[in-house]
Amino acid sequence: MTSNRWSDLERPPLNAAALRRAIVTPDSLWTDLDVVGSTGSTNSDLGARAREGAAEGAVLVAEEQSAGRGRLDRQWQAPARSGLFFSVLLRPTAVPPRRWGWLPLLAGVATATAVARTAGVDTGLKWPNDVLVTVDGEERKTGGILAERVGDDAVVIGIGLNVTLREEELPVPAAGSLALAGAKGTDRDPLLRAVLRSLADWYGEWLRADGDPAASRLQQAYAAGCVTLGRTVRAELPGGGEVSGRAVAVDDDGRLVVATAGGERAVGAGDVVHVRPAGE
């Protein structure tokens, strides 16, 4: 049978017109919303639009990505319409650039809270911004976030969320999906609306606080939802080397503070491995 937009009835396409009516309103952060059938990377495409002068609040959604990217240049691929794959354009020029590093963590908080509320599943954040759910008693990654600076005044944030992936479709054993976690609903339209509204709310609070993570409550919310804290971790650093110890805090710059045998170390980038569950 020839593949078409209705070839998998369990995975209907997004309703672009309805999403646009609900999200692009006069008082909203979101100024434009496009849904495309397939593209290489929504981050790359929206980054190109940003360089051409696209307004803050543009949203680009793809039903399928052929060259989706995660942190550390990892690929993010999934069957068409099995998840949410989208990017948003922000221009936080009123906030000091030294605080822009909080944007991917902000997106993590917004996504995790919206998914928990809308899909009815428990979520957690693995530092810095992987969204975890529980499948068969194990934590599995179901969402990832990639923030990329574009020029001097823009940041494009890409969000990928596995919604209806089946066990045999998972790219790696550590991956999961909302369906596998027992979500009460896997309709992607309300999920996307919820994430975008949550992201707009948190971004607004962050802007009003001049990007201060404490004054905007972002730092506290992140710490409350971060399952990395309290665990023994191994942070594999860019360029080689690693830091091992207990994750004890997230500092004012969004870095993970690790208590090692030689004292506390702040990790600003790297791949963090949870060595054992908290309390074990």
CATH code for residues 228-276 = 2.30.30.100
Q: Does residue 57 surpass a pLDDT of 50?
A: yes
What is the three-class DSSP state of 252? Answer: coil
Lowest mean pLDDT among 68-72, 191-195, 247-251: 68-72
The pLDDT score that the predictor gives to residue 66 is 85
Q: Which two tokens stand for residue 274?
A: 């949870």
The whole-model pTM stands at: 0.92
Edge-first strand order for the sheet with 271-276 is 263-267, 256-260, 242-250, 232-236, 271-276
Q: Which helix (H) or strand (E) holds 44?
A: helix 42-51
Nearest to 128 by CA among 104, 157, 149, 158: 104
Q: What is the pLDDT of residues 107-121, one digit of tens each?
A: 999 999 999 999 999
Write the pLDDT tens digit of every residue in 212-234. 999 999 999 999 999 999 999 99
For the segment 34-39, the average pLDDT, to the nearest whole number, is 97
d(CA 131, CA 111): 8
Alpha carbon 139 to its chain centroid, in Å, reads: 16
Mean pLDDT along residues 237-255: 95
Lowest mean pLDDT among 3-12, 57-66, 86-95, 163-172: 3-12
Bigger pLDDT: 279 or 233? 233
In the chain, CATH 2.30.30.100 covers 228-276
Percent of the residues in the chain that have a pLDDT greater than 70, as a whole number? 91
Q: What are the residue ranges of CATH 3.30.930.10 in the chain?
A: 16-224
Cis bond upstream, residue 213 (ω within 30): no
Furthest-apart CA pair in the chain: how many Å? 62
Residue 148 has pLDDT above 70, yes or no: yes
* Other C-beta atoms lying within 10 Å of the C-beta of residue 180: 21
The answer to whether 162 and 77 have CB atoms below 8 angstroms apart is no
Identify the pLDDT of residue 78.
83
The pair of three-digit structure tokens given for residue 176, joined into one six-digit string: 């999961």
Class of domain 16-224: alpha beta
pLDDT mean over 134-143: 96
Dihedral sign (CA 191, 192, 194, 195): positive
Place of tokens 């068969």: 136
Backbone angles phi, psi at 136, to 5 degrees: 55, 40
